[in-house]
Structure 1
Amino acid sequence: MTDSPIRCTIDLDAPGKQIGRLQVPRSSNTSGWSSLFVPIVSVARGEGPSALVIGGVHGDEPEGQVAALNLARDLRPDQVTGRVTVIPCLSPDASRAYTRLWPSGANLNRSFPGRPDGPADEQLAHFLSTELFPRADVVVDIHSGGRTALCLPWSEMHWVEDADQRRRMVEGMLAWNTDWCCVYIDVAGTGLLVGEAERQGKTVISTELGGGGHVTAEIHRLAASGLANVLRHEGVLAGEPITRAALGKPDPTLLMATDVDDYVLAPETGLFETLVSLGQHVDPGQPVGRIHFLERPERPPEVVGASNGGIVCVIRAIASTSQGDNVVVTARVAERSELD
């Protein structure tokens, strides 16, 4: 173990199925000596690849939490070659509150690589960075748009410079069998979980499976089937991976949201009225929404235009909008060869 103050109640290297928790020390108004419990499950058998599956980095994204809970409960050692480690919800307090951020205001997805002597979110990030990522070959981080954004259901990845790592990530992204796949950039700061895993050379696979504060049965099925297929593709879960062709589906549409101007921000505070639909093509400058002003009913709404043309892949899900909030994301359609 490193110098982490976090206690892990399972043996991260032992065979078989183990169910335990990470205990993150904290102090509260109701308990001077306390711990945040983060459940962790390990299922291992024999020699093979190691996959780390994470849900609930943000508490208002239940898609990954449900898929990871089902996987953790149902998975048996005889179905595994190597190891699958599952953290169904990395931010349990935020999940209980159904909020993106921790009650402290911390965004866990801006806390990596973390530090052992920092606040609780940074301690947890440090434990993953120093204990779990080094043990993993594959890191699966399941996201959605949460309460505030509605995304096309896609699997996603960052662009990484190492060609072999990028190839592995592209193949993993495609193995989710989503209709859309997206290459994206960070526009709200650094410290992402996937960024640290990528820095360590891991095959990193992520998603944005809808959002908007609700989850359909179709999305739950996509989260579960995609996760299982990725683990089969990576060779850690028994069975042959299923291709889109075998499902009678065409190749996915590849999107590149890699220009900062793809991320349209609200110029003023007000009520956002969406003028476009997910999957719709827009031209540069085309209106994508309008901002209305409750205090000024006589004032015409402020028209918000797309900076770049492309496919609308994210729309703000709630009308109440502050200046600087993201309201729409556009992406250009890419060819598979661009990712090689």
Structure 2
Amino acid sequence: MTSVSGMLRRNPIVPTVEFEKDGIFHGHLKLPYSRDDSAWGSIMIPITVIKNGEGPTALLTGGNHGDEYEGPVALFNLSHSLDLDEVSGRIIIVPAMNYPAFRSNRRTSPIDNGNLNRTFPGRPDGTVTEKIADFFQRTLLPMADYVLDIHSGGKTLDFIPFAATHLLEDKDQQARCKAAMEAFSAPYSMLLLEIDAVGMYDTAAEEMGKVFVSTELGGGGSTTAKSVGIAKRGVRNLLIHAGIVEGVEERCESVLLDMPGEDCYITSGSAGLIEYSVDLGGEVVKGDLIARVHDYERTGRAPIEYRAFRDGVLAGRHYPGTIQMGDVVAVVAARV
């Protein structure tokens, strides 16, 4: 049980930017980190705050996982391209939340192996990753009205490009989230069912009543011109939808998908070389062959087959070409 003194402990992160003054401020979240190569060193997490008068606040983040790059690319671009006079309200931009992971091209932190998106609410006196989570939980999220966290598949997954929201108990909040997801206007829009929502940034934001939108915009540990374009257009659309940035939303046709149950996920019961029979975005019906996993330790053995549990669209798949037992083979989402 957390003590009262622990709950009131101050987070050591110090922002070098202004949150309440009008203007454009570029700086860092300065997290002290004593280590072998720097006894009094700090981790410097880039941040931009743009504020102009009264209005809503949008908190825009990427790099929650360090090997997902559409968010960082779109948000580093946004940080230097917005003019103050086109903003009404406040925009807080953190292009790489888990900065140690981002700098190391890893999903998790090289310092403490922390998965930031499974660490909320964090601890002010915990590990580096726990301190970052706590600062977002207790300082940044309370400021926000709209929260956008840009994800992609990283090195081990690949997705059709979609914006996502979740089913929530508060249906008014869910409707606001869905409207913001639709404003992002990715080629696909997903009512997402998480494998495990405990400790997620998504859950922390939603429990505070925020309008929260997430994405999966590709994968493979890199970007494409198309995936970055979707991210950049979507961020601006969301800011226009929120009434923070002037302009007209640039929408595209978006296919609405749903994940009604756990049978949307297909998990591998074996390790081996994976052979897909369906490409991302392909239509499947229940029983269709999705993939085969070949024993890569010897020849002469028939592969294990993995088939769709439901009708739908292949929305996600494992990446790259070999797979371990327990990995997700595929995600099949239903058309709405």
Q: TM-score, normalised by structure 1?
A: 0.93
Query: What secondary structure, in the 3-state scheme, does the structure 2 residue paired with 1:218 have?
Result: helix
**1:2: Cα distance to partner?**
7.1
CA deviation map 1:171-196 (0-9, x unaligned)? 11011122210011221452111110
User: For residues 149-206 of structure 1, what are the alpha-carbon distances to aligned partners after superposition, in whole Å with 9 as ceiling and x for unaligned?
Assistant: 1101011111112121111111110111222100112214521111100000000011
Matched, 1:201 2:209: yes
What one-letter code is carried by the residue in structure 2 that aligns with 1:298? G
Secondary structure of 1:327's aligned partner: strand
Corresponding residue SS for 2:205: helix
Deviation of 1:254 (Å) = 0.9
CA contact (8 A) 2:56 2:90 kept: yes
In the alignment, structure 1 residue 75 sits paired with structure 2 residue 82: yes
Assess if the C-alpha contact under 8 Å between 1:25 and 1:120 holds in 2: no
Residue in 2 aligned with 1:25?
A: 32
Q: How does 1:53-72 map to 2 (within 5 A)?
A: 53-72=60-79
- Give the one of 37, 42, 45 matched to 2:44: 37
Partner of 2:4: none
Is this contact kept in 2: 1:2–1:130, CA < 8 A? no
Secondary structure at 2:236 match in 1 = helix
- Residue in 2 aligned with 1:313? 315
Aligned partner of 2:5 in structure 1 is none
Give the 3-state SS of the residue equivalent to 1:27 in structure 2.
coil
Q: Distance in 1 between matches of 2:283 and 2:134?
A: 41
Give the match for residue 221 of structure 1.
Answer: 229
Question: Which residue of structure 2 aligns with residue 117 of structure 1?
Answer: 125
The answer to whether the 8 Å contact 2:9/2:124 transfers is: no
Q: CA deviation at 1:102?
A: 1.1
Report deviation, 1:58: 0.8
Misfit runs of 4+, over 4 Å: none
| 1:186 corresponds to | 194
1:92 aligns with 2:99: yes
Does structure 1 residue 257 correspond to structure 2 residue 264? no
Q: Tell me which amino acid in the other structure corresponds to 1:66.
A: V
Deviation string 1:306-340 (CA, Å, 9 cap, x unpaired) is 22221110011211211000110001111xxxxxx
Q: 1:181 aligns to what SS in structure 2?
A: strand
Q: Is the 8 A contact 1:2 1:131 kept in 2?
A: no
Alignment partner for residue 58 of structure 2, among 28, 38, 51?
Answer: 51
Note if contact 1:268-1:291 (Cα within 8 Å) is conserved in structure 2. yes
State the match for 2:146 in structure 1.
138
User: Which segment is superposed worse, 319-328 or 25-34?
Assistant: 25-34
SS across alignment from 1:115 = coil
The match for 2:177 is 169
Q: Taking structure 1 as reference, are residues 28 and 89 closer, same or farther at Cα in structure 2, changes over 3 Å only?
A: same
SS in 2 for 1:67: helix
Aligned-partner Cα distance in 2 for 1:293–1:243 = 45
Q: Point out where structure 1 has 5 or more consecutive residues left out of the alignment.
A: 245-249, 335-340
Deviation at residue 66 of structure 1 after TM alignment:
0.4
Number of equivalent positions: 328
Secondary structure at the counterpart of residue 133 of structure 1: helix
